[in-house]
């Protein structure tokens, strides 16, 4: 899905999920590793405030990813 | 002496529980558990299942390195002659775990490994070169055939017999070419293939071309302050009640939902219907899968221009690749028409 959206729309698509090898296999170009499979963009164990902070940090990284010129599949680890 | 077999299975097939137990770390039992019991019945007299190693699918997927190391150690403790993992059918995390542990055991312990999964399982593309994989049905309805196939391939490998081509032996191609003398030379075989092709008859290539589904990365967003960004998710987050009846797994459709008047996803307005992970957290706060609250916050702060007024969601578990590609093409065309500049896509 991620690859085909990018291909059809010609716009950057950043995928946030937990199992990085699968994202590489399906052809995602911009990859941000998520927190956990059932809650990729949050961490409920940190309480509402911590959870939101984690989400914000991941989304800021995702926004950085879509502004970054890349030549090949790239994992934005930090 | 009968050969020693160790089986690897997940928490579900071990009877520990479903998604609510998918976080359990590796453990082992010195006996055949779940499908391993049926493998034991098939192999009786020729090989013995001396142990079963069990790990939760989410644990393995989220802690690949730790899970792999712990499972290899547990497996080594049984001094096996072969590892049989799964079968994983079309369960993505389970397929990755089975492929990964098989590859690691063959590499570090120097013993063969066999697993089985549905050809579209992401574990196939990732690990088929590192182990022997038998193609199976997409669900446990195909358990009987899958166990018969993995057991018979395992016995053939243990017997020390030479394995033929993947297609003849019934496993998924590992991309390995073996040299041997053919009775007819290459030119003759190539012409025969060409003639078959012209006549519309079946023929088998001797050199498979790899299929790389890669695309050139799109140009980055130049001015974030003016950019419209869309949220897409395969995490199964839908308006409460699932108005479009999106399937909980093997989805054949996706939903398009207007979020222009919503600043926060809550248990009152949205829910998860995804059949492939423990939904407890997603139902308590759907933003932990589809991050609308923080996107809205950043939009208000002016971090980026605008959040696109619709979100697109489906359930990415057991979904046929062809359907997922179609969803992507349709969504992509719509976003292009609407002038969206970038997409954040979350998956579970």
Do B117 and B259 reside in the same domain of the chain?
no
Tell if the CB–CB gap between A66 and B235 is shorter than 8 Å: no
- Cβ atoms of residues A28 and A12 within 8 Å: no
Are residues B68 and B148 located together in one domain of the fold? yes
Pairs of residues, one from chain A and one from chain B, whose beta carbons lie less than 8 Å apart: 219
Same domain, B15 and B162: yes
The residues, ordered by sequence, that sit 6+ positions from B70 with a Cβ below 8 Å of its Cβ are: B25, B26, B55
C-alpha–C-alpha distance, residues B40 and B20, integer Å: 28
Structural domain count of chain B: 2
Query: What confidence category does residue B177 fall into, taking pLDDT thresholds of 50, 70 and 90?
Result: confident
pLDDT band at B289 (very low <50, low <70, confident <90, very high): very high
The CA distance from B165 to B51, in Å, is 31
Chain B hits for A2, CB-CB cut-off 8 Å, are: 328, 345, 347
**CB-nearest partner of A4 from B218, B285, B329:** B329
Instruction: Kindly state whether residue B94 falls inside one of the protein's structural domains.
Output: yes
**Does any domain span residue B201?**
no
Residue B64 belongs to a domain: yes
Query: Is B333–A12 a contact, with Cβ atoms under 8 angstroms apart?
Result: no
Sign, Cα dihedral of B64, B70, B74, B79: positive
Token readout for A26 is 């399906």
B28: CATH: 3.40.50.2300
So what's the pLDDT on residue B284? 96
**What average pLDDT does this structure show over B3-24?**
96
Same structural domain, B147 and B253: no
- For residue B251, give its domain range: 224-346
Helix (H), strand (E) at residue B85: strand B82-85
Residue B220 three-state SS: coil
Q: Tens-digit pLDDT profile for chain A (78 aa)? A: 999 999 999 999 999 999 998 899 889 999 999 999 999 999 999 999 999 999 999 999 999 999 999 999 999 998
Instruction: Please tell me the distance from the alpha carbon of residue A47 to that of residue A9, in angstroms, as a whole number.
Output: 37
Contact B203, A52 (CB under 8 A): no
Rounded Cα gap, residues B337 and B339, in angstroms: 6
- pLDDT exceeding 70 applies to what percent of chain B? 99
Q: Is residue A18 part of a domain?
A: yes
Q: What is the pLDDT of residue B1?
A: 77
B interface test, pick of A2, A3, A4, A5 with most B CB neighbours within 10 Å: A5
Q: Does any domain span residue A77?
A: no
pLDDT tens digits for range B42-58: 999 899 999 999 999 99
Residue A23 lies in a domain: yes
Question: Cβ of B213 and A62 within 8 Å?
Answer: no
Residues B156 and B296 in one domain: no
Is position B209 within any domain? no
Distance CA B274, CA B276 (A): 6
Last residue in a domain, options B128, B150, B169: B169
Q: Are residues B17 and B125 in the same domain?
A: yes
> Taking a contact as any Cβ pair under 8 Å apart, which residues of chain A between 1 and 60 contact chain B?
1-19, 21-23, 25-27, 29-30, 34, 36-44, 51-52, 55-56, 58-60
Kindly list the residues from chain A whose CB atom is less than 8 angstroms away from the CB atom of residue B222. 67
Task: Report CB contact under 8 Å: A25, B122.
Answer: yes
Shortest CA distance from A8: residue in chain B: B332
Name every chain A residue with its beta carbon within 8 A of the beta carbon of B88. Answer: none
**How does DSSP assign B109-133, residue by residue?**
H---EEEEE-TTSHHHHHHTTTSEE
pLDDT tens sequence across B181-215 = 889 999 999 999 999 999 999 998 887 765 668 89
Domain that holds residue A18: 2-68
- What's the gap in Å between the CA of A43 and the closest CA on chain B? 7
For the stretch B298-317, pLDDT in tens is 999 999 999 999 999 999 99
Whether B129 and B247 map to the same domain: the answer is no
Q: Are residues B150 and B239 in the same domain?
A: no
- Side-chain half-sphere CA neighbours of B315 within 13 A: 22
| Same domain as B241, residue B314 | yes
Tell me if B235 and A40 make a contact (CB, 8 A cut-off): yes
Q: B108 and B249: one domain?
A: no
For residue B225, the distance in angstroms to the closest alpha carbon of chain A comes to 11
Q: Is B57 inside any structural domain?
A: yes
Q: How many helices (H) and strands (E) does chain B have?
A: 11, 12
Beta carbons of A70 and B213 less than 8 Å apart: no
ipTM score of the complex?
0.98
Interface test with A, best of B129, B236, B334, B348 (most A CBs within 10 A): B348
- pLDDT at B173 exceeding the cut of 90: no
**Residue that finishes a domain, picked among B122, B154, B169:** B169
Assess whether pLDDT exceeds 90 at residue B175: no
Do B280 and B144 fall within a single domain?
A: no
Q: Tell me the shortest Cα–Cα distance from A78 to chain B, in angstroms.
A: 17
**Is A60 buried (19+), middle (13-18) or exposed (0-12) by CB count in 10 A?**
middle
pTM, two decimals, is 0.77
B274 has pLDDT over 80:
yes
User: What is the total count of domains within chain A?
Assistant: 1
């Amino acid at each position: 899905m991620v690859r085909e959206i990018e291909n059809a729309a010609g716009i950057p698509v950043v995928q946030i999920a937990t199992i990085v090898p699968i994202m590489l296999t399906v052809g995602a170009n911009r990859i941000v590793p998520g927190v956990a499979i059932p809650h990729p963009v949050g961490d409920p164990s940190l309480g509402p405030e911590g959870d939101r902070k984690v989400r914000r940090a991941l989304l800021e990284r995702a926004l950085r990813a879509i502004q970054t010129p890349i030549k090949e599949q790239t994992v934005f680890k930090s | 002496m009968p050969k020693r077999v160790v089986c690897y299975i997940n928490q579900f097939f071990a009877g520990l529980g479903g998604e609510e137990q998918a976080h359990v770390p590796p453990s082992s039992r010195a006996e055949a558990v779940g499908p391993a019991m049926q493998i034991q019945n098939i192999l009786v007299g020729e090989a013995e299942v001396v142990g079963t190693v069990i790990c939760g699918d989410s644990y393995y997927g989220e802690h690949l390195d730790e899970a792999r190391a712990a499972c290899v150690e547990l497996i080594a403790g049984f001094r096996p002659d072969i590892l049989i993992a799964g079968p994983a059918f079309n369960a993505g995390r389970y397929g990755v775990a089975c492929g990964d542990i098989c590859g690691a055991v063959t590499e570090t312990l120097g013993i063969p490994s066999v697993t089985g999964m549905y050809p579209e399982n992401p574990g196939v593309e990732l690990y088929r070169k590192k182990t022997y994989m038998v193609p199976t049905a997409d669900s446990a309805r195909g358990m009987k055939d899958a166990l018969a196939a993995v057991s018979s391939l395992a016995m053939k490998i243990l017997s020390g017999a030479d394995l033929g081509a993947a297609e003849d032996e019934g496993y998924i191609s590992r991309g390995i070419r073996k040299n041997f003398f053919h009775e007819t030379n290459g030119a003759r075989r190539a012409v025969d293939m060409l003639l078959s092709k012209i006549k519309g008859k079946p023929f088998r290539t001797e050199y498979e071309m790899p299929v790389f589904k890669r695309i050139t990365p799109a140009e980055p967003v130049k001015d974030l302050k003016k950019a419209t960004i869309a949220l897409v998710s395969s995490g199964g987050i839908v308006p409460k009640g699932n108005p479009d009846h999106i399937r909980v797994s093997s989805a054949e459709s996706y939903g398009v939902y207007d979020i222009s008047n919503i600043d926060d996803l809550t248990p009152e307005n949205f829910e998860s219907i995804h059949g492939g992970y423990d939904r407890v957290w997603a139902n308590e706060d759907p933003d932990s899968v589809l991050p609308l609250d923080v996107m809205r916050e950043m939009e208000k702060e002016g971090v980026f221009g605008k959040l696109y007024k619709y979100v697109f969601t489906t359930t990415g578990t057991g979904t046929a690749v062809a359907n997922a590609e179609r969803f992507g093409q349709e969504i992509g065309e719509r976003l292009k028409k609407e002038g969206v500049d970038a997409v954040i896509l979350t998956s579970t």
